[in-house]
Each structure stands twice: as C-alpha cells, then as structure tokens.
Amino acid sequence: MQAVKQGDTTPEVVVRSALHKLGCRFTLQRANLPGRPDIVMPARRRIVLVHGCFWHGHSCARGCRLPVTNALYWRKKIARNRSRDKRVLAALRRAGWRVLVVWECGTRDYAKLLGCLAAFLVEQSV
C-alpha cells in the first residue's frame, strides 16, 4: 500500500497530456470541490476524474480481479470506494459541473482518448 501513488499516476499524466494537446488549461486536485477532483477546468465548468480500474471497481478484466489474500477486506474497500464515487459525482453535478470519468484501461488507446476528451469539451450543457 505504501508504494501506491496518490497523484501523478501514469493514467493521470496521459489524460493531462491529451488535454494539453487539445489546448486546454486546467488545475489539479482542487480541495474546495467534493472529492478533490483530479482535473478541473473552471472556465469550462468541466471536471475529469481519472479512476484506476482496480481501486474503483471497474468492470474490465483488471477491475474485476481481486487479491486472493484478505479478499473480504478488498471487497469491502472497493465497495466503499464505489459508494464514495457515486456520492462525489452526484455532488459535483448538483453544483453545476459537467463530469467525465476516464478509466485507467481507457487511457491505453491514445487516439480514442483524444476523441472522447474532445467530444466532452465541446458538449453542450443540458
């Protein structure tokens, strides 16, 4: 657990690189917003959350795999993370932010990631 980084993870750096390529400027981990979002674009009222597949319980192969040892602990921990993610997402949307969740596995195809981020940035508020 000690070796797990909290910030500047590879998926976060890839997403930030893609946003820079699209000409976006942003701030990182704003403490005054619920959940301390990874990437915040205040001028556009947009937030990008970069979730690790394992830690946030994604439905991909990496996210579905649980450690064999202490499995009950990990199931509970990931369930708490997912519950917290839902609360944070709802709070951000209620506050008027447009939110995109980018999963770790989604950062592996850079071209597809660029397209997804570009679409999110031009999407109109509903």
Neighbours of 24 (CB within 10 A): 18
DSSP H/E element including 103:
strand 98-103
- pLDDT tens for the chain, 126 residues long, are 555 556 778 899 999 999 999 999 998 988 889 989 989 999 899 999 999 888 888 888 777 788 889 889 999 999 999 999 999 999 999 999 999 999 999 999 999 999 999 999 997 655
For residue 36, give every residue at least 6 positions away whose Cβ sits within 8 Å of its Cβ, in sequence order, or none: 29, 30
So where are the chain's domains?
38-98
Q: Quickly name the fold that domain 38-98 has.
A: Endonuclease; Chain A (3.40.960)
**pTM for this one?**
0.86
DSSP H/E element including 51:
strand 46-51
Which residues are bridge partners to 40 per DSSP? 27, 47
DSSP H/E element including 40:
strand 39-41
Three-state DSSP at 26 gives coil
